[in-house]
Amino acid sequence: MYIAVASGKGGTGKTLVSTTLALCAGDCSYVDLDVEEPNGFIFLQPEIEKEIRFTLPIPEIDEAVCTFCEKCAAACAYNALAIIPPLKKAMLFPDLCHSCGACAYVCPTPGALKEVDKEIGRIRIGRKGKIKFIEGRLNVGRPSGVPLIGGIINDYLNMDDLLFVDASPGTSCPVVESLKKSDYVILVTEPTPFGLNDLKLTVEIVKELGKKTGIIVNKDMGGRSGIDDFSEEVHIPILLKIPYSLDIQKAYSRGIPLLESLPGIKEKFTALLNRVFEKK
């Protein structure tokens, strides 16, 4: 079962929740697809067994063969290529390249343009007790984490495992890629106007994807909030409320898992998991 933990923005407690779920379940995989800023390892402290380079093809132009016809630059939707015929110069801006292959497809001159592998990130695989740990880490400056996220999901996950996936934050392509194959999505939010706004945006995505969904409210101050009203309005249950506590925040800043900073929460997370399993 693929359980994704998502939120409309960073800093709401997504990693806190996903690592707690993995530590409660025990025999499972924790997958950090927050590839621009993976930090689940801080709480799980896994032993890393291997690190794999993740590469994508980018063009390399041989100026001795190139006729400087500019067809490749015209085909590039990302302005990653500049051809300067008077100077007989071909320039690639690798950080803009999305490895779409269009330039190689349109080049009419054999031998002028070939594709070479460029590392865009790393995949780290390890273990913490019974928990298998998989993490994507995008290199600084890369325009999109989507290929790395898709590569991990397609090639490194065993869909027969119990998977807790720490999805990318936000509401753009990386989070959609992280949620596409999920069986259930847990949305983490905060009881603030900003939290509610981002929750609404993320709910639009999960509804579009047709996913079963539940909400966890982090930093709950007690009583009702706009999240309760919205939950009833869209018929998405609130699975759990984690209380606001300075002790939890201090422990979080030191990389101490929630199971240690809030004794008694394990039973609540276990009950939450049983509720999610019933929905499968």
Give residues in contact with ligand SF4 (CB under 6 A).
58-59, 61, 66-72, 75-76, 78, 80-81, 83, 97-103, 107, 109, 112-113
Task: Tell me how far, at minimum, the Cβ of 61 lies from ligand SF4, in Å.
Answer: 5
Rounded to 5°, the CA angle 95-96-100 comes to: 115
Nearest CB to ligand SF4, comparing residues 111 and 129: 111
Nearest CB to ligand SF4, comparing residues 116 and 140: 116
- Which residues have a Cβ under 8 Å from the Cβ of 155 and sit 6 or more positions away? none
Nearest CB to ligand SF4, comparing residues 109 and 245: 109
Nearest CB to ligand SF4, comparing residues 70 and 161: 70
Task: Tell me how far, at minimum, the Cβ of 174 lies from ligand SF4, in Å.
Answer: 18
Task: Tell me how far, at minimum, the Cβ of 277 lies from ligand SF4, in Å.
Answer: 42
Cα–Cα distance, 277 to 231 (Å, whole number): 20
CB 65 within 8 A of CB 109: yes
Cα–Cα distance, 184 to 206 (Å, whole number): 10
**DSSP 8-state code for residue 244:** P
Task: Tell me how far, at minimum, the Cβ of 111 lies from ligand SF4, in Å.
Answer: 9
Q: Which of 59, 56, 55 is nearest to 93 (CA)?
A: 59
